[in-house]
Structure 1
Amino acid sequence: MGKIQLMGSRNLRRRETSLHSELEALKWAMESMIQHSTCQEFGTDCKDLIAMMEQPQDWPNFSTELENIQTLRLCFSDFKITYIPRTQNEIADALARNARSFHRSLCFIGCSIPVWLPRPLQV
């Protein structure tokens, strides 16, 4: 559609639960886009993350993280997060898997996968 799609990968520290990790990853993505792009739309394969954005009061165990994200949302004029099944976004899944395998700090944002980062297998 003629739009530039940015992708990123970072190996964040392990959190209490996978949902805490999803929130941390979204927070990092939002902070990164504030610096690098006018991006307003984010995608995730986590339906619970979308539910948290829609009804944060239903997730009291995540109130601190959700407050941080709600504050970041104020920086976006038209914030949107959509569900994208993992089967329809193999690149994002591969980037996440590769980031977990790095034993040193990894932080990457760009329009294409760098040569030093393993490529997802093409089926």
Structure 2
Amino acid sequence: MLQLSTCQAFGTDCKDLVSMIQDPGAWPNFSTELDELQKLKSRFPEFSIVFIPRTENVSSDSLAKIARSFHRNLYYIGCSIPVWFPRPPQA
């Protein structure tokens, strides 16, 4: 049986994004975007976002670069890397 999680946890390599979410008042130029984010966050009982340096998340960084190279919208939700995605180089 499929069970949905009520917790949304995200990691990003953008320190500014984490700062914006933690202290939206300090980023008035992004108030419209942060208001939209607040609306989305309110739909989940639990929400977290943390900073993860690129050097500690090489696989995700490689996947993001590959996805950007497609020059079209790419949507994928899953727990594993799709078989049609080229594998990132191993360190």
- TM-score bracket for the superposition, by shorter chain length: 0.7 to 0.9
Q: Which amino acid aligns with 2:15?
A: K
* 1:73 alignment counterpart: 41
TM-score, normalised via structure 1 length: 0.66
SS in 2 for 1:111: coil
Once the two structures are TM-superposed, the CA of residue 103 in structure 1 deviates from its matched residue by 2.9
- Partner letter of residue 58 of structure 1? A
Unaligned runs of 5+ in 2: none
> What secondary structure, in the 3-state scheme, does the structure 1 residue paired with 2:64 have?
helix
Q: C-alpha separation between the residues in 1 aligned to 2:49 and 2:73?
A: 27
Give 3-state SS (helix, strand or coil) of 1:108's partner. Answer: coil
The secondary structure found in structure 2 opposite 1:115 is coil
- CA shift at 1:42, angstroms? 0.8
CA distance in 1, matches of 2:80, 2:8: 19
Kindly indicate which of the two structures has a greater share of residues assigned to helix: 1
Which residue matches 1:109? 77
1:104 Cα deviation from its structure 2 partner: 3.2
* 1:54-76 alpha-carbon deviations (Å, 9 max, x no partner): 11011111111100000111011
1:49 aligned residue: 17
Amino acid at match of 2:80: S
How many angstroms apart in 1 are the aligned matches of 2:72 and 2:8? 30
Matched with 2:55 is 87
Identity of aligned residues (%): 60
- The residue identity in structure 1 corresponding to 2:20 is M
User: Which structure exhibits the higher relative contact order, with contacts defined as CA atoms closer than 8 Å and separated by 6 or more residues?
Assistant: 1
Give the match for residue 65 of structure 2.
97
TM-score by length of 2: 0.87
Inter-partner Cα distance in structure 1 for 2:18 and 2:82:
29
| Aligned-partner Cα distance in 1 for 2:55–2:63 | 14
How many equivalent pairs are there?
88
